[in-house]
């Protein structure tokens, strides 16, 4: 649940050890006025949504089930399924901060998208996802000729 300022307090069924709750609360403070951060309790974990006020920036969110994290940045691509190990929590935070900084690009094609996030150290994390009828293969070089969007920073 979030209040009118985008500050969130999870529901009462929140697990006591959510590895990413600290990140969500920090982002809620830092992004006040630039985005709405929603934090909600879900069965077995928390759900976090970050919605920028800038329409040219990319929204994202994650679910934290204490032992598994699922980060979603894109329409079909951009879904990272991570363990809750410290290095995966750090990767989630790096990706989140890179999206907020506008270092994210998404390439769209029929039934699929590829999301590439450039981290602060210059490395690039890419995830591709899609929904196509069974047996359909992507057209060759679809990431070269498809529509591409570079998202803006939150502020």
What is the pLDDT averaged over residues 43-52? 94
Secondary structure class of 94 (helix, strand, coil):
helix
Residues 6+ away with beta carbon under 8 Å from 26: none
Q: Which tens digit of pLDDT belongs to each residue from 99-138?
A: 999 999 999 887 788 999 999 999 999 998 877 666 666 6
Partners of 48 in the beta sheet? 39, 62
**What pLDDT was estimated at residue 4?**
42
Sequential DSSP letters for 100-127: HTT-EEEEEETTEEEEEEE-TTS-EEEE
For residue 61, pLDDT over 90 is answered with yes
For residue 17, pLDDT over 70 is answered with no
Q: Where are the domains of the chain?
A: 21-150
**What pLDDT was estimated at residue 133?**
67
Residue that the structure tokens 């991570």 belong to: 82
Residue 138 has what DSSP assignment? P
């Amino acid at each position: 649940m979030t209040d009118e300022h985008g500050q969130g307090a999870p529901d009462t069924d929140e697990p006591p050890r959510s590895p990413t709750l600290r990140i969500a609360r920090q982002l809620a403070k830092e992004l006040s006025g630039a985005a709405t951060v929603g934090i909600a309790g879900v069965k077995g974990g928390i759900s976090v949504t970050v919605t920028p006020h800038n329409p040219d920036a990319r929204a994202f969110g994650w679910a934290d089930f204490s032992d598994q994290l699922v980060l979603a940045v894109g329409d079909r691509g951009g879904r990272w399924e991570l363990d809750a190990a410290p290095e995966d929590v750090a990767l989630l935070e790096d990706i989140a901060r890179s999206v907020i900084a506008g270092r994210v690009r998404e390439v769209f094609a029929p039934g699929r998208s590829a999301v590439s996030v450039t981290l602060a150290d210059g490395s690039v994390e890419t995830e591709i996802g899609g929904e196509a009828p069974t047996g359909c293969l992507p057209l060759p070089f679809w990431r070269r000729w498809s529509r591409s969007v570079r998202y803006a920073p939150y502020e």
